[in-house]
Structure 1
Amino acid sequence: MSAAARVAERVRDLDTPEGPGRAHVCRPARSHGTVVLGHGAGGGLRSLDLTVARDVLVGAGWTVALLEQPWLVAGRRVAGRPPTLDAAWVPMVTDLMSGRGRLPRPLVVGGRSAGARVACRTAAELGADAGLLLSFPLHLPGRPDRLRDAELALAPDPTWLVHGARDPFGTPEELAPYLPAWATLIEVDGAHSFPKGSRPALVEALTRIAGMLPR
């Protein structure tokens, strides 16, 4: 049984200007802080990297909140445009981190793919203390001329990236010149989505990161 399975998951519906969002929160009895992670544009919360991140971080004593964007809660298959994703993300995270029952700081923001982009764009507004990016999409496949390096530059200090060695959205070698000085990249065998065989490497990478997150 995983550490996350041993910690009860609390599901919270959250209001946003884009419609209802949802948070899946696992909070250990004694928490070092909170890691909030968003999903990608093509799927939900069951991707291998998000699942491993939740399990490892909860096991290391961190509260983990996996957030569902309103478009996914509503059952739509296509994500909204970046401004709508940001407009939903900020109030969801703010709600979790404020008021009665607020989650503990420090706050680590991140996610996989499109969720990683959202976390970078909104980190300053949320006062994030660190970042955790999974498969950051530097460019669309076959379009290295259209980079998202300006978003990556907005990642909080410090930030860690877990990235597939053969990611068609930008390999680790492509990412390297655009990494902020405060960002650390950990390469894992895989592409943009990680196969089941990548689990041991993901566990190792995220265990290392869990030990370095600011407390």
Structure 2
Amino acid sequence: MSLDQIAGVAHEPGGSPTGVVVLTHGAGGDRDSLLLRQVCDEWARRGWLAVRYNLPYRRRRPKGPPSGSAAGDRAGIVEAITVCRGLSGGPLIAGGHSYGGRQASMVVASGEIGVDLLALFSYPVHPPGKPERPRTEHLPDIRVPTVFTHGTSDPFGTPGELREAAALIAAPTEVVEITGARHDLRSKTLDVPALAVDAALRLLA
């Protein structure tokens, strides 16, 4: 299997995969972020093939914020979902952390490509300290089950703001609150990957 065109890394399950999970990174990160590695490991343990990949701007430049157009990054998400869809006959889950998750949600809202579930980590409801600039206008166009995994101390959105955003989606949603976690979702007490995967599997069922 060649994931080179999307700069992807596969976490393979023991047997034939139940389905495929395709996840990407936040604005300052890349496919090797601790969160993506841990979540993909958890999916593989549950029998799914999980792929973490770099967005087009990160393939062009190893460091720094997104450069070029967000539309180009969304095209890269469509490409990644297309490449990975053929790797299993089962369901396909797409999403990502922060910026990557937001762009994936915009791809799904546009109807350009179908997925079975959206998995959004630290969704940036608004820029830090600027609740008057919500990034939620496309959410009512999402028609697939969506899991939000969110830290209660995330400056990109309070738990209340995140729940209001989730309520805009025209499909079942689940919000997984990580008590005390900030935007990176690190927690000393909670198993964040397991909680996120559990919620996704509940919605898929």
TM-score (norm 1): 0.82
Residue 13 (structure 1) aligned with residue 4 (structure 2): yes
Which digits, 9 at most, give the CA deviation of each residue in 1:167-199, with x for residues without a partner?
A: 10011111112212521101002111123525x
Q: Which residue of 1 aligns with 2:204?
A: 214
Q: Is the 8 A contact 2:43 2:197 kept in 1?
A: yes
Alignment of 1:33-44 (within 5 A): 33-44=19-30
Residue 142 (structure 1) aligned with residue 129 (structure 2): yes
Which digits, 9 at most, give the CA deviation of each residue in 1:6-40, with x for residues without a partner?
A: xxxx76211xxxxxx31111232221111110101
Q: Which residue of 2 aligns with 1:17?
A: none
- Structure 1 counterpart of 2:173, from 167, 176, 183: 183
Alignment of 1:58-207 (within 5 A): 58-74=44-60, 75-80=62-67, 81-98=69-86, 102-123=87-108, 124-179=111-166, 180=169, 182-189=172-179, 190-195=181-186, 197=188, 200-207=190-197
Percent sequence identity over matched residues? 30
- Structure 2 counterpart of 1:27, from 6, 9, 12: 12
Q: Is the 8 A contact 2:95 2:101 kept in 1?
A: yes
For structure 1, the residue ranges without an aligned partner over 5 or more in a row are: 1-9, 15-20
CA gap of 1:42–1:129, structure 2 versus 1, over 3 A, is same
- Structure 1 counterpart of 2:39, from 44, 53, 58: 53
> 2:122 is matched by which residue type in structure 1?
S
> 1:197 is matched by which residue type in structure 2?
K
CA gap of 1:61–1:185, structure 2 versus 1, over 3 A, is same
CA RMSD for the aligned pairs?
2.1
CA-CA distance at 1:122 after TM superposition = 1.2
User: CA separation in 1, counterparts of 2:155 and 2:54?
Assistant: 25
Query: What SS does structure 1 have at the residue aligned with 2:32?
Result: coil
TM-score (norm 2): 0.85
Query: What SS does structure 2 have at the residue aligned with 1:64?
Result: strand
Q: Is the 8 A contact 1:22 1:68 kept in 2?
A: yes
Q: How many residues align?
A: 196
> 2:165 is matched by which residue type in structure 1?
Y
User: CA separation in 2, counterparts of 1:165 and 1:27?
Assistant: 32
> 1:170 is matched by which residue type in structure 2?
G
Query: What SS does structure 2 have at the residue aligned with 1:211?
Result: helix
